Structure 1
Amino acid sequence: MDIFHINDTLALLNPENPDQFLQAGGFLWLDANHDEVAANPEAWRHQVEQITGTQIYDLHLKDVSNLSHPSYFDATQDYEMVVFRKLTLTEASAETKSGVKRKIPAALNKLATSPVSFLLMENVLVTVRPAQSRTVELARNRLLEYKYKADNNGSTHGGRLPASPEELMLRLLNAMVDQYLELRQPLTQQLDRWQHALLDPRRPFNNWLALLDSRVELRKLDNLCEEQHDAMQELRDHIVDTHDGTSRAKDLLLVRINDVMEHINRVLNHARRLEASLESAVQIHFAAMAHRTSEIMRTLTVITALFMPLTLITGIFGMNFEVMPLLKHASGFWYTMAAMGVIVILLLIYFRSQRYLQDQASRRIE
């Protein structure tokens, strides 16, 4: 577990006496990963208690170690706990319960998530995250590379360090949500590929298993965003009801929480639009297939209608009678063939007038 001491001017990594630094001002950030906590949960809890003076409850200790825990918020008299599911760096292929790999496109395969737990205590933020977390690593680097610069008036230039554990947590949450926003373009491109494949008349679509898996992943993203939004809403209500800081500090926290919730809503709305668009593409696909089948059946019906009178004539002349009109006439065959041709031409004219037949040119014009 790494310990950061953060004040207005600098951030120190693993100070020798964190309690003394905490008494001097600023706050502490205790950063651990899931492997460290899972190796010895009791030892990790004891270490946190020695530094903060606060003991983590047993149920929350289990929640911290649970890699399948959904996003949620809980508050106690000693601390507040936020669990937020973030995108993982690894792109492991999804598998079903039977062990069969699912055919998920690359864009949707990036939706693998893992929980990040935040414990907000007095002047202390405790985080438990995956061993590989781009968001947390970038935040750590920014803190360590920060250089305090002030002009003659005492005002700082550029960015500033977080002023409280709540602000640091909200910065991390905002960066995690931005990872979801980065997926909007590849997800949209994947949806466009699905739509072209579904509506391509030259090649029948048969990759229904991958399409079903994609819809399942989009539904998971929808549920994930709803859980994240609910957790942030409960955190916002808790800060509104219990925060006893200055009005400016409270307003700043509320602004940051609202910004995180607004980003979550954007991801949620985008996921719902993608799901609705994919559903519309499937419906259009089946409508196009039904229309194509109807066109084929209409063509076959017209061909059948054209040959019905011809079949009738050939059936009549195939009767076994000795005396029949034109049967022994020298030009009877040609008269019959001409009559059959005239019948076909008249039927074609009638079908065209009734718009039963349309050539390709007329379809392009329409």
Structure 2
Amino acid sequence: MGLIGYVHIDDRWREMTDADRLDGETLFWLDFTHHEDDWPSVFQRLGGGAVHERHVKDSLNLAHPPYYDATSDYEMLIFRPLAGLQSNDLDLDTSASTLLLFAHGLVTIRPPDNGLFEDVGRRLHSQTPRQPETIVGVAHALLHRIVEEQMRVRGPLAMQLELWQQRLFGSEHGVKDWVPLLDLRGRLRRFSTILAEQLSSLTLWRSETELHISEHVGVRMNDVMEHIKRTAHDIDALQHDIEGMIQIYFSITGQRTNSIVQLLTIISVVFLPLNLIAGIFGMNFEQMPLLDHALGFWATAIGMAALGLATLLLLRLKRWI
């Protein structure tokens, strides 16, 4: 894979060529992928400095959490953008991307399937208005795109929860497979943790960085942090919605079960004395009252019906039905 890099010359950004070298004054941005595990040697051949071995390992670790660290030569910031550019993908899979900020340059190491960085690169050399003129400005452009993409998943997630609400409360048969909903809750919890770690890392970098941050870029960085907070708040709200949906569903299910048990209990209470009477008259005795009477059957049937109605009336007066 060819080198992806940009240099800022004559107040504009352009793609690097094979003849370009890092002279310590020209602003540059080198963009590597995790497949290029030899990126430190490429960086040094171009005139860059040495990178700590531990930071090199961290930069190639796709599972690394959001993190901030610094040396006397550079500052390292790790974020976890969503994998790919499919904002409607509810998997919420993220992969670590590393930003190494030098005094006059930026080195990024990212997953090969993440096009966010390439998108920012295209904007740089397309000469769109308000191009960043500092390394912190380029870093802000990258962080802004990462956070912007993370914010966009809120809409599809809210729609997914609406579908679950329809399944839970719009069907008489209920839901038998809870695995997808519980899996979604777990993914939201992990994503919320990542957002909190990103905010913590960015806050720490803002407080400890030795790089100059202009007032304009500082305001834009504040916007990025506010977007992270807003996204984290909405993700937490979605988690609470899922918990509430589950509790309401089981409450409705319990109420429905209680109604069924109540109906069966009423039927049992009404027919219990009638079964007793039927059992008594079913005894094998030769001499029993009304047994030989011409109206014995009808008298017994009317009495049993009256007893059943009286039982229902009593339950009604007690407000049990």
TM-score normalised by the shorter chain: which range applies?
Answer: over 0.9
Most deviating of 219-228 and 131-140: 131-140
Name the counterpart of 1:9.
Answer: 11
State the Cα deviation string for residues 30-85 of structure 1 (Å, max 9, x = none).
1111112x2xx2xx213313435421000001011111111111011100001111
Counterpart Cα distance in 2 of 1:212 and 1:355:
40
Name the counterpart of 2:32.
Answer: 32
Name the counterpart of 2:126.
Answer: 145
Counterpart Cα distance in 2 of 1:139 and 1:108:
24
Higher helix share: 1
> What value does the CA root-mean-square deviation take over the aligned residues?
1.9
State the Cα deviation string for residues 78-117 of structure 1 (Å, max 9, x = none).
00001111111277xxxxxxxxxxxxxx7422x1111111
3-state SS of 1:126 partner: strand
Matched, 1:238 2:202: no
List structure 1 runs of 4+ shifted beyond 6 angstroms: none
Name the counterpart of 1:132.
Answer: 113
3-state SS of 1:117 partner: strand
Unaligned stretches of 5+ in structure 2? none
State the shift of 1:201 in Å.
4.4
3-state SS of 2:90 partner: helix
State the shift of 1:136 in Å.
1.4
Counterpart Cα distance in 1 of 2:175 and 2:109:
45
3-state SS of 1:73 partner: strand
Matched, 1:272 2:245: no
Q: Is the 8 A contact 2:85 2:115 kept in 1?
A: no
TM-score by length of structure 2 reads 0.92
Which one-letter code corresponds to 2:288 in the other structure? M
Counterpart Cα distance in 2 of 1:205 and 1:4:
54
Counterpart Cα distance in 1 of 2:156 and 2:48:
46
Q: 1:250 to 1:146 in 2, by over 3 A?
A: closer
3-state SS of 1:355 partner: coil
Q: 1:17 to 1:7 in 2, by over 3 A?
A: closer
Aligned pair partner of 2:215 in 244, 248, 251: 251
Counterpart Cα distance in 2 of 1:8 and 1:177:
30
TM-score by length of structure 1 reads 0.81
Q: 1:45 to 1:107 in 2, by over 3 A?
A: closer
Show the 5 A alignment for 1:292-311. 292-311=256-275
Q: Is the 8 A contact 1:118 1:128 kept in 2?
A: yes
State the shift of 1:7 in Å.
4.5
State the Cα deviation string for residues 311-360 of structure 1 (Å, max 9, x = none).
11112222333332211110010011001111112222232333333xxx
Counterpart Cα distance in 2 of 1:350 and 1:185:
55
State the shift of 1:220 in Å.
1.0
Matched, 1:329 2:293: yes
Which one-letter code corresponds to 1:336 in the other structure? T
State the shift of 1:286 in Å.
1.2
Which one-letter code corresponds to 1:236 in the other structure? R
Name the counterpart of 1:200.
Answer: 170
Show the 5 A alignment for 1:1-366. 1-7=3-9, 9-15=11-17, 16-19=19-22, 23=25, 26-36=26-36, 38=37, 41=38, 44-89=39-84, 107-109=89-91, 111-146=92-127, 159-239=129-209, 242-243=210-211, 245=212, 249-357=213-321
Taking only the aligned residue pairs, the percentage that are identical comes to: 35
Counterpart Cα distance in 1 of 2:277 and 2:205:
86
